[in-house]
Amino acid sequence: MRGRPVLGVVSGFLFGLSTAFTLLLFGSLPTSSIWLVLLPFLGVVLGLLMAWWAPFGNSDHGPNPRDTSHAGPADGDDAPEADRTNAPGEDPLDTAATGTDTENGD
């Protein structure tokens, strides 16, 4: 079986159990209803089917998150020298050098 069947079983059971509990609390099902027992097991079947069917759709859409061919330089310096707003060695958070002190309203 492909996918993640254990995750499907656990999540399907919890989904069915919570659905049965919600229907019981809202008064849609009496406490003597057989649906309170069947819904968790139907959730297990639904979870197994979804685990078998997953991943949904075609996986050829969008970039591969493991593909690193589009990554920038290895040293982390992704901005060219001409695009920098601060001189080398200057603190980019230093507002006195740029004259943009916003605390005093200047």
Over residues 29-33, mean pLDDT: 93
In a domain, 99, yes or no: no
Domain assignment present for 74 = no
Does residue 27 lie within any of the structural domains? Answer: yes
Domain residues for the domain of 38 are 5-53
Domain tally for the chain?
1
Task: Let me know if residue 102 belongs to a domain.
Answer: no
- pLDDT, one tens digit per residue, over 36-46 is 999 999 999 99
Q: What is the pLDDT of residues 1-14, one digit of tens each?
A: 677 889 999 999 99
13 part of a folded domain: yes
How confident is the model at residue 7, as a pLDDT? 92
Give CA separation, 23 vs 13, 20, 40, 61, in Å.
15, 5, 12, 39
